[in-house]
Amino acid sequence: MQVKITGKTKVTGIFGYPVGHSLSPAMHNAAFKSLGLDYCYLPFPVRPEHLHEAVKAIRALSLRGVNVTVPHKEKVIPLLDETDEEASFIGAVNTIVNTNGKLAGYNTDGRGFMRSLSEKGISPSDKDILVIGAGGASRAISYYLCKRSRSVTIYNRTVKRAKKLARDLNKLYKNVSAQESFPNIQEFHIIINATSLGLKKEDPAPFDTSMLKRTQIVYDLIYKKTRLIKEASRMGCKALDGSGMLLWQGMLAFELWTGRKPPREIMSKALRSTHQ
Ligand code: ATR
């Protein structure tokens, strides 16, 4: 998928290290092309020690904006001119917008997750939700889930981290609790894996899936058919992988840079064809 470069092309891209595996260039360039927008999206492998210079280069080179991924999502915050409420709470930025040299940081992960739920016809209201994990991904989704659901329970291998997240969320909402031991899975309507367990092929599911009921919804934020997804499907549950969240966080970033409605089908197709 080649985009046409002109003297006026607005440049966007992704800062990460490594970035070689990123599916975002294919997704965004396909979207720019399909709408005839004079934009392009490039991978920028930014070593940790060069992050400061790379952020300055957004202004110096008049980039329109960038996505930010591992390992820069947290460290980039103090280098920006402003950060929105969501990104400040999460403590991580995944999208930067450059408006005449002023750099604003956003985090589109949580909103992307919620949009992926709603497009599947799933509403968290009146539901009890279990979030497994208390890292960056968990913070991003829990921030929205506790706003919209009846209750959110957080379980994490490191209990201290789950308690800290629950404490932070309860300053905003009052429906969050942290569990010290793994809770009874059957008490929840929606169960979400927000840990990195499942990234490796040999990883086990994060809990005993034989306890699942077919009325339960299982969402794995990992963009793969993990063991959890396979086992939950086998148990008759509605099982969602991280592809919807990946797509929607990208669509929201696209909208921030271009002000245009992102072409969902084009972006989804580009993701699927790149991720073989
Ligand atoms: P991300 O930004 O993707 O959320 P992170 O902030 O490093 O990444 O968080 C990773 C999450 O996966 C954490 O909740 C981590 O648990 P700990 O806080 O106990 O480290 C969880 N995790 C990683 N490997 C795990 C494993 N083998 N078993 C259970 N949880 C695991």
Which contiguous run of DSSP H or E holds residue 240? strand 238-240
Question: 205 CA to middle of ligand 1, Å?
Answer: 13
Angle, in degrees to the nearest 10, between helices 136-148 and 159-170: 40
Cβ(197) – ligand 1 distance below 6 Å: yes
Comparing CA positions, the residue from 70, 114, 113 lying closest to residue 94 is 70
Cβ(71) – ligand 1 distance below 6 Å: no
Cβ(195) – ligand 1 distance below 6 Å: yes
The Cα-based distances of 113 to 82, 138, 140 in angstroms read 23, 11, 9
Question: 5 CA to middle of ligand 1, Å?
Answer: 40
Residues known to be catalytic: 73
Q: Which protein residue has the closest C-alpha to ligand 1 atom 22?
A: 195
pLDDT tens digits, 50-78: 999 999 999 999 999 999 999 999 999 99
Q: Which protein residue has the closest C-alpha to ligand 1 atom 18?
A: 158
Cβ(45) – ligand 1 distance below 6 Å: no
Residue to mutate, 195, 201, 222, ligand 1, most ligand atoms under 8 Å from C-beta: 195
The pLDDT value recorded for residue 274 is: 85
The pLDDT value recorded for residue 239 is: 98
Angle, in degrees to the nearest 10, between helices 24-35 and 264-274: 140
Atom of ligand 1 nearest to the CA of 73: 2
57: buried, middle or exposed (CB in 10 Å: 19+, 13-18, 0-12)? Answer: middle
Query: What is the DSSP code (8-state) at residue 118?
Result: H
Domains, the chain: 10-107+245-275 (3.40.50.10860), 112-241 (3.40.50.720)
pLDDT tens digits, 80-127: 999 999 999 999 999 999 999 999 999 999 999 999 999 999 999 999
Give the residues of the chain that fall short of pLDDT 70: 1, 276
Q: Which protein residue has the closest C-alpha to ligand 1 atom 11?
A: 195
Residue to mutate, 74, 130, 196, 228, ligand 1, most ligand atoms under 8 Å from C-beta: 196
Cβ(135) – ligand 1 distance below 6 Å: yes
The pLDDT value recorded for residue 1 is: 58
Q: Is the dihedral of CA 139, 141, 146, 151 positive or negative?
A: negative
